[in-house]
Amino acid sequence: MMLDEAQAAHSALAREHLKDQIGAAGGWLGFEQFMELALYAPGLGYYSGGAQKLGAGGDFTTAPEISSLFGRCVALQCAEALRALHAGALRSPHADQSSK
Greater confidence (45 vs 85) lies with 45
Q: How confident is the model at residue 87 (pLDDT cuts 50, 70, 90)?
A: low
The pLDDT of residue 46 is above 60: yes
The pLDDT of residue 62 is above 70: no
* pLDDT at res. 57: 64
Q: pTM of the entire structure?
A: 0.54
* pLDDT at res. 27: 95
Give me the mean pLDDT over the 17-25 stretch.
96
Show Cβ contacts of residue 44 under 8 Å, excluding neighbours closer than 6 positions: 10, 13, 14, 17
